């Protein structure tokens, strides 16, 4: 995409989301077209997926939604499990990590 992309934030995601999306579009991020809707796309960063509508005729992009990317969710889940195991170990459950691994498997 070109420099000077106009991003309209239709759902008040905030200035940081708009600036990040503009940067991703300018620098060549992974963009996946929505197979069910013409002009709609998912733009993915390391931590967030942006759902946009883009009119190719005027260069404007409408930011419709955001959600955490799968990689960000995986990291959050791993940190949650680690925190739980550390908490249990500090409470005297010395084999909490081993029990958790056996439970997950």
Convert the pLDDT of each residue in 52-77 to its tens digit.
999 776 778 999 999 998 765 455 45
What pLDDT is attached to residue 91? 56
The beta strands (E) that lie in 1-105 are given as: 6-9, 30-33, 40-44, 48-54, 60-68
Q: Which CATH superfamily is domain 6-68 in?
A: RelE-like (3.30.2310.20)
pTM over 0.85: no
């Amino acid at each position: 995409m070109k420099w000077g992309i106009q991003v309209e934030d239709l759902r008040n995601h905030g200035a940081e989301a708009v600036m990040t999306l503009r940067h991703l579009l300018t620098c060549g991020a992974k963009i996946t077209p929505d197979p069910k809707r013409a002009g709609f796309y998912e733009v993915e960063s390391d931590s967030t997926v942006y759902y946009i509508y883009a009119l190719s005729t005027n260069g404007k992009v409408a930011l419709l939604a955001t959600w955490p990317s799968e990689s960000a969710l995986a990291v959050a889940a791993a940190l949650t499990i680690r925190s739980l195991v550390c908490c249990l170990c500090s409470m005297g459950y010395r084999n909490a990590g081993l029990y958790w691994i056996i439970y997950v498997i």
